[in-house]
């Protein structure tokens, strides 16, 4: 099987995966007890108002009618209207999705930069105190729950040292809206970004560190490293140019998959730091039975996971000629 | 906290039961049954009383009420019932109990918003047999002709003293019949930064979320008050079915003819004085102020008022609010409402609820599109005007200087938080000045110890209660419901679980609603012996294992 055939087949699989995914989403959300009017009933919505609203939303229609309508909307790239906010879902989701991407993207970049360097050095200095201490620190970071890391950082950097703001994405009372640069380019934003991104970086640091270390150990035992050393190359050159470079390959897959996972993991970080991202919105939408928003949010997050797996597969084939197309 | 309560509770209960056993042994020298009391039930038993399916909130939704539910279930089991406690998320709970009406007993709260200070909601809406349909407010399905008559009568009594008498009698009947166990008015504390804001004014049922607090709060060393709440605003469009947190901000931007005052009574707002009510109670005349403008500078006139009431009548969502108005007339600065039938709470529940819209903005909107209409600047005439809004981050308001009640803060910012704990963190770090929600007990202590922070205490007229589904056996039996009510540890709930926040109640009208509350209704404190006596009187009996059965004669 050639590369092209492999890509085509993988792409078809992708489409089936997507179909199964959003059908499952649809069924799951419709099975959830309650409906979008539940949150208003104790606030005084009358039974007549309730029925009228349900009919307006088309929720009195048979399930298959709603399903067909949902698929039709999706195919035209339309996620519908929020049941609660009464605004197009796209408007609600996109801005929050960007906020989440900026936060988790920063966290992952730091996690992988630090993790890869740290892991390479741990492998290089095998059996040193540095390696043993490094493993303990890494394992601690790996087993700490996100909310706990967040709270510890908050108590040190906010409540004790007072260096950073405790929540949000910018200081309240400033100019709202604005373009990409106005949003994410200011110093105020970076101050707000620091702690939540650090929390994410600490939590996601362990995987690249440990993986890098163990592949380094394999590579260092390979004959060609011995040869390079025998050639009389300086240690530094062997470490960076030959050992580390060859160890990085498995990380490509892991990084792609971790990106997907991190999108889901953002829920906790966003809650602790009140980050106006998609994770928080997802929780709200699920609690309020705001199906269109909840489904769109899950759909986007799930899509990141599915697409990143796809990218990982392709990248692997491209990067490592030894991989066979099955 | 929870473990602590349980242990305290176990000790208490141990002492209580010890006392009862000791006493009964001392006096009568015998024990009727082996469950520790001398209450004799029916001698010949029929089948077991079916298991009670009790719906309650999860600890995540409401930790206090979740704990209460376990205490109640434990007590009921001790009386001889079998209890299946089902913990639900909020939406699922409301759906199952209020909409589907598929429950035996349901532990839920009923909010005490200002318009509910008028007794109509708590008497008529919640207990009249006309409101038992799916989604209706009479969740228990209570239907009592004698009661219905009183609930209807109070609507037609413009004389407050006569109406008070009727409402008193209605409360007595409810206390006797116990369609619900009225447990406690859950007042509480809202935290704020006393170092940064003064003149706070928590009010009945709303605490710091009150309108009066928001226009009164004064920042000490800035011109901005930052207010945190654990939910975003869904919409500012007053024509939508709004959740309470939305309304609390919509009413800052839009004015009504009357507002519910700090004392709970409707107070003239855009109106110059109390309405003139003709003797038949069917005609209300209101004069409006002539010094009011909308935020865009256009004068607010009687035509805007008339236009608004007509708009409401056409609104699919709010038409029912004003459908008792038969005809509207205006002359000069006066507007007269002719009603179809007498409706005593008209001032509080209609004139106090309808927001006055600028005709020059809402005039061209088709009634069916009202709910989707987006006035980007949300032009109203209220004490605050809209500046900007990003739902997930903040809502910015500024004082409207031309208003007759200019607020004390130049800017008012509302920040939605992810949860209460996170908001308290922001208050401690100086990012917020007030929080409109009750902190967890551990956070309450932290706020108390922080010299920059303080707690604003308030009482509530809403309550937590258990509704019994009277459409089903055995909950159609008054004796059984009364026995279950004796099994609810109200005092323990307020004192220990809620750490003293709130007051025990026995009536549908809170004692904090002084004028309407009847202080002499029958009271149901936790008393398991009384519960057994009530059941014995109803003809029930116990088997050797202490399990409750129907009596053979029932």
Q: Is residue A179 part of a domain?
A: yes
Distance from CA of A64 to the nearest CA of B (A): 22
Q: What CATH number is attached to the domain comprising B504?
A: 3.10.105
State the Cα–Cα distance between residues A117 and B407, nearest whole angstrom. Answer: 57
CB contact under 8 Å between B426 and A177, yes or no, is no
8 Å CB contact between B152 and B128: yes
Whether residues B215 and B267 fall in one domain: yes
Q: Is residue A84 part of a domain?
A: no
* pLDDT score at B475: 95
pLDDT digits (tens, 9 = 90+) for B347-375: 988 999 999 999 999 998 888 888 888 88
Q: Is residue A324 part of a domain?
A: no
State the Cα–Cα distance between residues B312 and B305, nearest whole angstrom. Answer: 11
A38: nearest CA partner in chain B? B91
CB contact under 8 Å between B320 and A289, yes or no, is no
Q: Is residue A86 part of a domain?
A: no
Whether residues A113 and A34 fall in one domain: no
Closest CA to B481 of B491, B466, B493, B492: B466
CB contact under 8 Å between A48 and B88, yes or no, is no
B373: nearest CA partner in chain A? A86
Distance from CA of B95 to the nearest CA of A (A): 5
Q: What angle do CA A306, A7, A5 make, to 5 degrees?
A: 150
B414: nearest CA partner in chain A? A172
Q: Is residue A82 part of a domain?
A: no
pLDDT band at A120 (very low <50, low <70, confident <90, very high): confident
Q: In this prediction, what percent of chain A has a pLDDT beyond 70?
A: 97
Count of domains for chain A: 2
**Mutate: best of B234, B315, B352, partner A, most A CBs <10 A:** B234
Whether residues B45 and B178 fall in one domain: yes
Q: Please give the full DSSP string across B180-228, using - where no structure is assigned.
A: EEEEEE--EEEEE-TTTEE----BTTTBTTSHHHHHH-EESSSSEEEEE
Nearest to A173 among B92, B392, B411 (CB): B411
Q: What angle do CA B28, B543, B7 make, to 5 degrees?
A: 75
CB contact under 8 Å between A39 and B372, yes or no, is no
The average confidence (pLDDT) of chain A is 84
State the Cα–Cα distance between residues B479 and B133, nearest whole angstrom. Answer: 25
* pLDDT score at A172: 86
Whether residues B384 and B440 fall in one domain: yes
State the Cα–Cα distance between residues B530 and B536, nearest whole angstrom. Answer: 10
CB contact under 8 Å between A47 and B133, yes or no, is yes
Closest CA to B226 of B395, B11, B41, B370: B395
Whether residues A313 and A231 fall in one domain: yes
Whether residues B466 and B376 fall in one domain: no
Query: pLDDT tens, position by position, for chain B (554 residues)?
Result: 344 444 444 444 444 333 333 333 333 333 344 445 578 888 888 899 999 999 999 988 888 999 999 999 999 999 999 999 999 988 889 889 988 899 999 999 988 888 888 899 999 999 999 999 888 889 999 999 999 999 999 998 888 899 999 999 999 999 999 999 999 999 889 999 999 999 999 988 889 999 999 999 999 989 999 999 998 898 899 988 778 889 999 999 999 999 998 888 899 999 999 999 998 889 999 999 999 999 999 999 999 999 999 999 988 778 888 989 999 999 999 999 999 998 988 998 899 999 999 999 999 888 888 888 888 899 999 999 999 999 889 999 999 999 999 999 999 999 999 888 899 999 999 999 999 998 887 888 899 999 999 999 999 999 999 999 999 999 999 999 999 999 999 999 999 998 888 999 999 999 999 899 999 999 999 999 999 999 999 999 999 999 999 988 87
Q: What does DSSP assign to residue B54? A: E
Q: Is residue A107 part of a domain?
A: yes
8 Å CB contact between A262 and A51: no
User: Considering only CB atoms, which chain A residues are within 8 Å of B460?
Assistant: none
Size of interface A-B (CB pairs under 8 A): 148
Whole-number CA gyration radius for chain A: 24
Distance from CA of A58 to the nearest CA of B (A): 16
CB contact under 8 Å between A167 and B426, yes or no, is yes
pLDDT digits (tens, 9 = 90+) for A240-293: 777 777 777 778 778 887 887 787 778 899 999 999 998 888 888 888 888 889
* pLDDT score at B495: 92
Please write down the long-range contacts of B86-89, taking CB distance under 8 Å and 24 or more positions apart: B86/B53, B86/B54, B86/B55, B86/B56, B87/B56, B87/B57, B87/B58, B87/B59, B88/A33, B88/B55, B88/B56, B88/B57, B88/B58, B88/B61, B89/A33, B89/A34, B89/A287, B89/B57, B89/B58, B89/B60, B89/B61
Q: Is residue A239 part of a domain?
A: yes
Whether residues A262 and A189 fall in one domain: yes
Whole-structure pTM value: 0.84
* pLDDT score at B30: 39
Q: Is residue A311 part of a domain?
A: yes
Whether residues B170 and B23 fall in one domain: yes
User: Considering only CB atoms, which chain A residues are within 8 Å of B109?
Assistant: 42
CB contact under 8 Å between A169 and B320, yes or no, is no
Of B457, B476, B501, the domain-final residue: B457
* pLDDT score at B165: 95
Helix B528-537 vs helix B63-79: angle between axes, to the nearest 10 degrees?
A: 50
pLDDT digits (tens, 9 = 90+) for A203-216: 888 888 888 888 88
Of A75, A105, A136, the domain-final residue: A75
Whether residues A12 and A47 fall in one domain: yes
User: Considering only CB atoms, which chain B residues are within 8 Å of A45?
Assistant: 135, 241
Whether residues B381 and B403 fall in one domain: yes
Whether residues A71 and A147 fall in one domain: no
Domain range for B126 is 2-186+461-551
Q: What is the ipTM of this complex?
A: 0.84
Q: Which residue has the tokens 């809406």?
A: B125
Whether residues A122 and A249 fall in one domain: yes
* pLDDT score at B7: 42
CB burial string B145-170: b at 16+ within 10 A, e below: eebbebbebbbebbeeeebbbbbbbb
8 Å CB contact between B322 and B313: yes
Whether residues B263 and B138 fall in one domain: no
User: Considering only CB atoms, which chain A residues are within 8 Å of B99?
Assistant: 35, 38, 41, 50
Mean pLDDT of A63-76: 87
Strand-pair category, B224-229 with B434-435: parallel
Q: What CATH number is attached to the domain comprising A168?
A: 1.10.3720.10
Whether residues A111 and A155 fall in one domain: yes
Whether residues A154 and A39 fall in one domain: no
Whether residues A120 and A226 fall in one domain: yes
Count of domains for chain B: 2
Of B411, B433, B457, the domain-final residue: B457
Burial status of residue A56 (CB atoms within 10 A of its CB: 0-12, 13-18, 19 or more): middle
More confident position, A102 or B28: A102
Distance from CA of A258 to the nearest CA of B (A): 25
Of B423, B457, B491, the domain-final residue: B457
CB burial string B445-484: b at 16+ within 10 A, e below: ebbeebeebbbbebbbbbbbbbbbbbeeebbebebbbbbb
State the Cα–Cα distance between residues B269 and B262, nearest whole angstrom. Answer: 13
* pLDDT score at B139: 93
Whether residues B248 and B132 fall in one domain: no
Q: Is A165 on the interface with B (CB under 8 A)?
A: yes
Distance from CA of B536 to the nearest CA of A (A): 36
Q: Is A213 on the interface with B (CB under 8 A)?
A: no
Burial status of residue B27 (CB atoms within 10 A of its CB: 0-12, 13-18, 19 or more): exposed
More confident position, A163 or A127: A163
Whether residues B81 and B199 fall in one domain: no
Nearest to A33 among B92, B388, B417 (CB): B92
Whether residues B230 and B177 fall in one domain: no
Whether residues B194 and B62 fall in one domain: no
Domain range for A31 is 3-75
Q: What CATH number is attached to the domain comprising B436?
A: 3.40.190.10
Q: Is A41 on the interface with B (CB under 8 A)?
A: yes
Distance from CA of A132 to the nearest CA of B (A): 37
Whether residues B147 and B222 fall in one domain: no
């Amino acid at each position: 099987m050639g590369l092209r055939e492999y890509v085509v087949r993988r792409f078809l699989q992708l489409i089936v995966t997507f179909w199964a995914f959003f059908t499952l989403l649809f069924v799951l959300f419709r099975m959830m007890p309650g409906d979008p009017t539940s949150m208003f009933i104790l606030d005084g919505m009358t039974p007549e108002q309730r029925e009228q609203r349900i009919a307006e939303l088309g929720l009195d229609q048979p399930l298959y009618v709603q399903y067909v309508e949902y698929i039709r909307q999706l195919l035209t790239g339309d996620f519908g209207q929020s049941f609660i906010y009464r605004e197009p879902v796209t408007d609600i989701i996109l801005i929050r999705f960007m906020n989440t991407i900026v936060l988790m993207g920063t966290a992952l970049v730091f996690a992988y930069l630090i993790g890869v360097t740290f892991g390479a050095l741990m492998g290089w200095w095998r059996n040193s105190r540095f390696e043993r201490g490094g493993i303990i620190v890494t394992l601690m970071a790996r087993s700490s729950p996100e909310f706990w890391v967040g709270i510890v950082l908050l108590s040190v950097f906010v409540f004790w040292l007072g260096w950073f703001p405790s929540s949000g994405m910018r200081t309240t009372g400033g100019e709202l809206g604005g373009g990409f640069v106005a949003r994410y380019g200011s110093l105020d934003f970076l101050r707000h970004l620091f702690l939540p991104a650090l929390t994410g970086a600490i939590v996601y640091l362990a995987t690249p560190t440990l993986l890098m270390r163990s592949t380094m150990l394999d590579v260092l035992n390979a004959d060609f490293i011995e040869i390079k050393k025998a050639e009389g190359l300086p240690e530094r050159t062997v470490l960076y140019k030959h050992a580390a470079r060859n160890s990085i390959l498995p990380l490509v897959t892991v990084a792609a998959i971790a990106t997907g996972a991190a999108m889901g993991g953002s829920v906790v970080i966003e809650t602790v730091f009140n980050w106006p991202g998609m994770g928080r919105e997802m929780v709200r939408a699920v609690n309020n039975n705001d199906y269109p928003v909840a489904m769109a949010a899950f759909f986007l997050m799930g899509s990141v996971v599915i697409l990143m797996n796809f990218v990982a597969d392709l990248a692997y084939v491209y990067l490592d000629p030894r991989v066979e197309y099955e | 906290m929870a473990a602590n309560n349980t242990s305290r509770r176990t000790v208490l209960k141990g002492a209580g039961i010890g006392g009862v056993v000791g006493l009964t042994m001392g006096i009568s020298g015998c024990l009727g049954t082996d469950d520790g009391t001398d209450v004799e039930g029916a001698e010949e038993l029929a089948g077991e009383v079916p298991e009670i399916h009790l719906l309650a909130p999860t600890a995540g939704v409401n930790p206090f009420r979740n704990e209460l539910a376990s205490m109640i279930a434990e007590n009921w089991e001790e009386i001889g019932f079998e209890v299946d406690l089902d913990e639900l998320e909020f939406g699922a709970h409301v759906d199952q109990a209020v909409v589907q009406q598929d429950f035996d007993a349901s532990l839920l709260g009923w909010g005490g918003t200002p318009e509910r200070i008028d007794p109509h909601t708590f008497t008529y809406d919640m207990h009249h047999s006309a409101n038992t349909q799916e989604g209706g407010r009479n969740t228990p399905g209570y239907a009592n002709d004698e009661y219905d008559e009183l609930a209807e009568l109070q609507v037609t009594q413009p004389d407050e003293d006569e109406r008070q008498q009727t409402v008193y009698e209605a409360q007595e009947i409810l206390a006797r019949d116990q369609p619900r166990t009225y447990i406690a008015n859950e007042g509480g504390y809202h935290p704020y930064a006393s170092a940064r804001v003064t003149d706070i004014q928590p009010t009945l049922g709303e605490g710091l979320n009150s309108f009066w607090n928001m226009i009164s709060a004064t920042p000490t060393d800035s011109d901005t008050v930052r207010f945190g709440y654990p939910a975003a605003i869904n919409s500012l469009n007053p024509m939508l079915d709004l959740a309470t947190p939305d309304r609390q901000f919509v009413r800052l931007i839009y004015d009504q003819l009357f507002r519910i005052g700090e004392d709970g009574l409707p107070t003239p707002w855009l109106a110059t004085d109390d309405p003139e009510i003709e003797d038949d109670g069917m005609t209300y005349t209101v004069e409006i102020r002539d010094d009011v403008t909308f935020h865009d500078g256009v004068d607010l006139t009687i035509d805007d008022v008339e236009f608004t009431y007509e708009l409401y009548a056409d609104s699919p969502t709010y038409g029912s609010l004003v459908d008792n108005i038969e005809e509207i007339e205006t002359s000069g600065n006066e507007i007269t409402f002719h009603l179809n039938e007498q409706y005593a709470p008209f001032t509080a529940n209609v004139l106090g609820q309808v927001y006055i819209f600028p005709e020059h903005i809402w005039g061209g909107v088709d009634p069916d599109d009202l709910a989707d209409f987006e006035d980007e600047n949300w032009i109203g005439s209220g004490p605050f005007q809209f500046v900007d809004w990003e739902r997930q981050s903040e809502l910015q308001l500024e004082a409207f200087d031309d208003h007759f009640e200019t607020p004390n803060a130049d800017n008012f910012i509302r920040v939605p938080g992810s949860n209460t704990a996170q908001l308290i963190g922001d208050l401690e770090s100086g990012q917020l000045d007030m929080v409109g929600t009750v902190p967890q007990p551990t956070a309450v202590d932290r706020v108390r110890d922080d010299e920059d922070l303080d707690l604003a205490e308030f009482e509530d007229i809403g309550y937590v209660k258990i509704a019994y589904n009277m459409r089903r056996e055995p909950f159609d039996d008054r004796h059984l419901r009364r026995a279950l009510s004796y099994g609810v540890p109200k005092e323990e709930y307020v004192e220990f679980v809620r750490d003293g926040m709130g007051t025990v109640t026995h009536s549908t009208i809170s004692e904090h609603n002084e004028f309407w509350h009847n202080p002499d209704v029958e009271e149901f404190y936790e008393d398991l012996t009384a519960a057994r006596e009530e059941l014995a009187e109803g003809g029930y009996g116990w088997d050797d294992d202490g399990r409750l059965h129907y009596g053979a004669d029932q």
